Amino acid sequence: MAPRQAADTISEQPRTPLDATEAQYALLRQHIVEGRFPPGSALLETALSAEYGVSRTPMREALHRLAQDGLIERSTRGFRVRVRTPEEIVDIYDARTSLESTAAGLAAVRHTEFDLARLTHLLDERRNASDPKTFGKLNNTWHDALRTAAHNATIMDLLARLDTLLAIYRSGRTQNADDPSVDHHEAVLTAIRDRDAETAQNAMRDHLRFMRDRRIANLLAEDR
């Protein structure tokens, strides 16, 4: 059989149950992270199967995987999206602070000229932004670039998981124009530019502790 014919034959093969489970898991995970199902939302296998137009088997497997990820938990009626407590947020930030401060130190040593140019450009973009609704996304993009500059795939993977765990708690408050994150990022970037690993680590550690405290304060304020 010619290569093109073989490729066509493979592409026409029906999706296996494993493929269906993987696709449903990815889609449902995306919708939870994006906030389509807010914290505390009930996730019922039968109802979700009907809503997404899939059989119950891939939906059941997807829900079990999401529970293993820590995004959802068992409830009396099936599953529900996790509701983060201040204690859990502290735990997640403790892990994030350790990993991302290490990433900042590595970035100071391992960054390329392209890494430095990208971090500088993204910081300028954030500093010049005027719409508070964009501040969070721009800040996150800068953090992603810093992690890339560390050139450590394991740290990147672990931090991505922590990002997901934090994402299901979304404060309804937007960041203010005087958000100090820009100055915090500038301090980290200056240390990276100077190849000062210790200062980069300390600056990132201080920044993330500030962000942790603000996130918890917002959570407590919204629960009143």
pLDDT in tens, 148-167: 999 999 999 999 999 988 88
User: What pLDDT is recorded for position 177?
Assistant: 54
Region 50-67 average pLDDT: 92
Residues of the chain with CATH 1.10.10.10: 17-81
Region 181-196 average pLDDT: 97
168 pLDDT band (50/70/90 cuts)?
Answer: confident
Residues of the chain with CATH 1.20.120.530: 86-222
Give domain 17-81's CATH number out of 3.50.50.60, 3.40.50.10260, 1.10.8.50, 1.10.10.10: 1.10.10.10
Indicate the average pLDDT of the chain: 87
Which CATH architecture fits 86-222?
Answer: Up-down Bundle (1.20)
- Distances from the Cα of 221 to the Cαs of 165, 181, 192, in angstroms? 21, 21, 35
The pTM of the full predicted model, rounded to 2 decimals, is: 0.78
